[in-house]
Amino acid sequence: MKKKVVGRIIAVVLSAVMIAALAGCGSSSSTSSSASKSSSGSKSSSSSASTAKKASDVKVALVLPGSVNDKGWNAEAYNGLKEIEQLGCKIAYSESVAASDYEATFRGYADQGYNIIIGHGTEFEDPIKTVAPDYPDIMFMVTSSDFYQEPNVCSLQNLNNQQGFMAGVVAATASKTHKVAAITGMEIPSTQSYILGFQQGVAYVNNGTEALVAYTGDFNDATKVKEQATAFIDQGADIITQDADEAGLGLFEAIKGTPDGIYAIGATSDQYEEAPGKVLTSAINHIGDGMKVAVEESLQAPLEAKCYKFGIKEGVIGLADYHDCANVLTDEQKEYIKTTMEKVSSGEITVKSAQD
């Protein structure tokens, strides 16, 4: 499984800033000024040469709704920011920002001269929509969204539908009870797409498996996810996945100590270590790689006000290793899963999203 995005056909976002005074805000810089150009071919070499920037002159800020220690969605974005730092850019971030502080946080970074400001999630669409017109020379980006606004707002949409689809394919293929489940937090486009993809993946396997789904309404309360997972196990589900950020860690608490044959599927990063021997695989979503590619592209030529999409084809969405749960699936089943993922990548299989 590809873990890094190399030579993407994309170019995405960046511009912005962060309030140094906010709790949880960190910043750093590097003396390196080199950045590699991706092979997108979307800009001519002469155009790129005339607009190229030094990485050391670029300041990137990241605004997060949750903790960088959630071992999921927010942690993945933070990892991407650290990779951007390695390019030579100056970085800053604010974590666990309250909704009431979104707009002020964006303005704070903009006033400090950050070139690229990233709001990590669809919840940042409205504040970016409000703030961006006041800072036309800064590029704002919102992740997990298809929203964009001329002239300086673009979006980086990680294809959660493909992520959920592959979790559904694995779950239905591995299930012995023919009941599987998916749990997410708040009902927003990204989680809706994950759930919709999961249901499509289960249906695609077409072996009579039932897909149970639930929203807990919270991305922070792990107890709610644990309780919901336990309820699904009581209903006969033997494979359960989650896409609930920090709250999703409750799934692994629920899965520990369960009888053999009951497994979890992690989300966003490889979450095997959260419950060794009980995590079949994880539906990967390396959105941080997409952020890095976007910044690399922005060093060569200005980004456009548009939606840039990252999925299996670009190496952002995929599946983690099976680790010591590899024997849960036969070689034939693993090959079926691999082939199915290749079909999604090539476009032979189309997965609907909540935005369709």
Both 179 and 99 in one domain: the answer is: no
Q: How many CA atoms lie within 13 A of 292 on its CB side?
A: 27
Whether 65 and 145 map to the same domain: the answer is yes
Which residue's entry shows tokens 């209903």?
Answer: 235
Specify whether 197 is located in the same domain as 223. yes
- The two beta strands, 26-28 and 90-94, are antiparallel
Tell me if residue 245 falls in helix, strand or coil.
helix
CB atoms within 10 A of CB 134: 11
User: Is 56 inside a domain boundary?
Assistant: yes
Higher pLDDT, 112 or 7: 112
**DSSP sequence for 315-333:** TSEEE---GGGGGGS-HHH
Residue 79 has pLDDT above 80, yes or no: yes
**pLDDT for 71 beyond 90:** no
The CA-atom distances, in angstroms, between 208 and each of 32, 171, 232 are: 55, 12, 17
Average pLDDT over every residue of 215-219 = 95
Query: How many whole angstroms separate alpha carbon 81 and alpha carbon 274?
Result: 24
The pLDDT value recorded for residue 356 is 81
**Residue 46 neighbours by CB distance under 10 Å:** 8
Total count of domains within the chain: 2
Please tell me the predicted confidence (pLDDT) of residue 3: 37
User: Tens digit of pLDDT for each residue in 297-341?
Assistant: 999 999 999 999 999 999 999 999 999 999 999 999 999 999 999
For the chain, what is the mean pLDDT?
Answer: 87
In a domain, 267, yes or no: yes
37 vs 239, residue with greater confidence: 239
Residue in 150, 80, 94 with CA at minimum distance from that of residue 294: 80
Q: Are strands 59-63 and 90-94 parallel, antiparallel or unpaired?
A: parallel
Read off the pLDDT of residues 89-115 as tens digits, 9 standing for 90 and up: 999 999 999 999 999 999 999 999 999
The answer to whether position 293 is within a domain reads yes
Statement to judge: residues 224 and 189 lie in one domain: yes
The Cα 257–Cα 165 span in angstroms is 27
- Position 118: which residue type? I
CATH of the domain at 155: 3.40.50.2300
Q: What is the mean pLDDT of residues 190-210?
A: 97
Query: Quick check: 315 and 6 in contact, CB under 8 A?
Result: yes
Average pLDDT for 248-266: 96
Domain assignment present for residue 213? The answer is yes
Residues 55 and 82 in one domain: yes
Question: Do both 274 and 232 map to the same domain?
Answer: yes
The answer for residues whose C-beta is within 8 angstroms of residue 342's C-beta and 6 or more apart is none
Same domain for 169 and 118, yes or no, is no
Residues 224 and 337 grouped into a single domain: yes
- Ranking 14-18, 166-170, 240-244, 292-296 by mean pLDDT, the lowest is 14-18
> Is residue 321 in some structural domain?
yes
How many residues in total does the chain contain?
356
Q: 147 φ, ψ to 5°?
A: -80, 140
Rounded distance between C-alpha atoms, residue 155 and residue 291, angstroms: 10
pTM to 2 decimals?
A: 0.79
Residue 327 lies in a domain: yes
Structural domain harbouring 178: 160-285+317-346
pLDDT the model gives residue 119: 97
Q: Do 149 and 202 share a structural domain? A: no
Asked, for residue 116, whether it belongs to a domain, the answer is: yes
Instruction: Tell whether 276 and 292 lie within a shared domain.
Output: no
Strands 317-319 and 279-285: antiparallel
| Residue 40 scores a pLDDT above 70 | no
CA pseudo-torsion sign 307, 308, 310, 311: positive
- The residue with tokens 């499509």 is 200
Identity at 104, one-letter amino acid code? A
Domain membership flag for residue 261: yes
| Centroid of chain to Cα 229 | 22
Residues 213 and 300 in one domain: no
β-bridge pairing 153-158 and 307-310: parallel
Q: How far apart are CA 239 and CA 93, in angstroms?
A: 36
* Paired strand residues for 241: 182, 265
189 and 325 housed in the same domain: yes
Closest CA to 271 of 73, 10, 50, 11: 73
